[in-house]
Each structure stands twice: as C-alpha cells, then as structure tokens.
Amino acid sequence: MVMLTPALRALKQVYPESNLTLLLRPRVADLMQTHPYVDTCLVDNKTEGRYRSVKNLVRQLRDKVFDIAVVLHPTSFRNALLPFLARVPIRVGTNVAGRGMLLTGSCKDDTRIHEVHRYLRVLKLLNIDALPSFLEFWHTDADRQFVERLLRAEGIVPDDRIVALNLGTTWATKRWDVANFANLIQRITRLLPEIKIVLVGSSEEEELAKALPISLSFINLVGKTEILQLGALLERCEVCVTCDSGPMHIAAAVGTPTVAFFGPTSPIRHQPHGTGHTVIEKPVSCRPCYKQMCHRQDAPHLCMKEIGAAEVMEALESKLRQKTCAA
C-alpha cells in the first residue's frame, strides 16, 4: 500500500476532479481510509464464496459507473475480471496469465524493476508519466503527539537518539534470527551507550520480542502502536534496522534511513525506496527464491543466517555518523 502511493498520487494529479476508489482487502482498509489521494475504499471481503463475492462486487462496480479501471495488482486474474464484468469502458493493467483479453490496454509485466516502478508502468497506458516517484506516509500530528507521550512514559526525551529494531515480517524465511538481534543489541549498548534502542512492530511480533533476554537494554514498543502511529515512531528514529517488511517501507516513506536484510526476496524489486538506505544480502545460490518455506536441506535459511551482527553494527554506525555530521 505504501509503494502504491506514487501511482495513486499521479492518478489524482492528472484527474484532480475524479473520485478515486480503491478496491482492497480488509487487512489494509483502515490504513487506506485516510490516504490523501483516495476518495473511497471498496472492501473485498472474499467471505461469501468465490462466485457470490465476485457477483456482489461486480454489482457495486456497475452501480458506481466507473470510467477507468487501473488494475495495479500485477498478477491477479480476478482483479482484471471484475472491471471487465462490470463493463468499465477503459481497463488497463499488465498482461499476465491471459489477463490481456480482459483489458482494453495492457503491457508486459517486468519483475526486474522496483515494485514502485512496476505499478507506475501501468499508468503509461493512460499516457501518465509519474515522476518523481517518492513515497509518502499519511500519519498526522495527533499520531506524532501519541508517540511523544509513549516515549516520554519510557523515559525518552526529545533530545535522545533512537534506533528502531523491527524483529518480524510476514514470511518466516525473511526473518533474521532473534539471537542475532540480541547480539546486535549487546553491541549497540557497549559501543554506543547514548543510543536508545526501541523495538517496533505489530502485536504479531510480540512473541519474538519476548524471546529476547530480559537482561538486554531496550524499550519494547511492539504491539503498542497502530500502523499510522508506527509511521510517527519510525519518523522519530534516526535509523531503522529491519528485514524486508512493511515497517521497512514505512521507514523509507517517512525519511528514516534503514539497514535492511534481504534473503529470499530481491532488493531490486523490494529494497527501501529512495536514498540513504543500506541493503545487506549474501550471494547464496538459491536466492532470490520467493519461498515462504525454505526448501534447502543442507543449510536451511542460509541466506539470512549468513548475515552477521558485526556487519550490521558496522552499517548502523555508519548511518549514525552520517546523521551526526549532517546535524
């Protein structure tokens, strides 16, 4: 959703008087309800069975009488079928798995470019050339105030320097072992005692945070922020250390430099968008595999295990020095 923003911004700039409706899943509905370039959200619950949910959505699309359907999902056949059945006059998207027959304009997909530009390629079918392609996040001053109160309650004052550690991600194969994070926290505490370490993430990562030794020095804010508040928290941090994840993209969107680990996914497609980020990856022969379960028998999760705490610490120190020099 964060990486869609340049495409949504470009559509709204070209069609400023339009009603831009976003068809999305329930998981991200709350996030996109307040998006600055989205007027309406249409939630696809998929809870009524495949046939009935398609039928109900098609009816809703017809009732709204859309002029253009921009199918930004690069591979979903269903997402191209819906506007076709709803008889939306102009339908554009990538031609994958036979979707081209459902679209009035299509282009080949390209997985050799960043996802931001993968979405923007579709807009060229409408003669929209969207540059610059910077990210945005739409947290508010109220979210910033909430974060300041949260930090103050943990003894952090405005002048304190903070580093965020994001422990989790949706795929287990993309995770860096908790023991490595523990090693990194020890190194930060020893070498940079002035730095405050804050753990960030959703409630789904609470078990990962609990797995860290309680003797370590950190502030655990995992599960204590909603997603827009997480943007405000990451904005307050000097650096975010993270695997390939949603919080990584949020950090990039709010302008916080990241040290990002990549294993089964490709940084060409998914690295933090923009400048000032460091990607750590290893030349393991089977990557990128895009598997949610590691298939290696000899050395499972080798691509992530090869990343060591010492090199992460070196990258983090470099980022903090750059911040100090800039200040």
Helix (H, G, I), strand (E, B) or coil at 95: coil
| Strand ranges across the sheet with 258-262 | 219-220, 195-200, 161-166, 239-243, 258-262, 278-281
For residues 149 and 111, state if they share a domain.
Answer: no
**pLDDT value at residue 27:** 87
For residues 114 and 206, state if they share a domain.
Answer: no
For residues 121 and 150, state if they share a domain.
Answer: no
For residues 115 and 189, state if they share a domain.
Answer: no
**Residue 136 included in any domain:** no
**pLDDT value at residue 262:** 98
For residues 65 and 176, state if they share a domain.
Answer: no
For residues 93 and 172, state if they share a domain.
Answer: no
For residues 115 and 178, state if they share a domain.
Answer: no
**Residue 132 included in any domain:** no
Please tell me the pTM assigned to this model.
0.94
**99, 126, 153: which is the final residue of a domain?**
126
Q: Which residue has the tokens 């911040």?
A: 323
**Residue 58 included in any domain:** yes
Residue 24 lies in domain: 5-126
For residues 224 and 306, state if they share a domain.
Answer: yes
Under 8 Å between Cβ of 93 and 80? yes
Encoded amino acid at 107, one letter: C
**65, 98, 126: which is the final residue of a domain?**
126
CATH number, domain at 86? 3.40.50.2000
Helix (H, G, I), strand (E, B) or coil at 96: coil
CA-based nearest residue to 185, from 159, 213, 222: 213
pLDDT tens figures, 209-245:
999 999 999 999 999 999 999 999 999 999 999 999 9
Number of domains composing the chain: 2
For residues 18 and 113, state if they share a domain.
Answer: yes
Those residues of the chain that have pLDDT short of 70 are 326-327
**Residue 209 included in any domain:** yes
**Residue 131 included in any domain:** no
Distance CA 142, CA 13 (A): 27
pLDDT tens figures, 1-54:
999 999 999 999 999 999 999 999 988 988 998 999 999 999 988 777 778 889
Distance CA 119, CA 72 (A): 6
**Cα–Cα distance list, 97 to 76, 106, 108, 123, 232 (Å):** 9, 12, 11, 20, 40
CA-based nearest residue to 326, from 258, 254, 252, 276: 276
**pLDDT value at residue 327:** 62
**Residue 133 included in any domain:** no
**pLDDT value at residue 91:** 98
Please classify residue 279 by burial: count the beta carbons closer than 10 Å to its beta carbon, then call 0-12 exposed, 13-18 middle and 19+ buried.
middle
For residues 115 and 248, state if they share a domain.
Answer: no
* 211 DSSP 8-state letter: T
For residues 101 and 161, state if they share a domain.
Answer: no
Under 8 Å between Cβ of 222 and 206? yes
**126, 161, 189: which is the final residue of a domain?**
126
| Residue % of the chain over a pLDDT of 90 | 90
For residues 71 and 168, state if they share a domain.
Answer: no
**Residue 203 included in any domain:** yes
**pLDDT value at residue 286:** 96
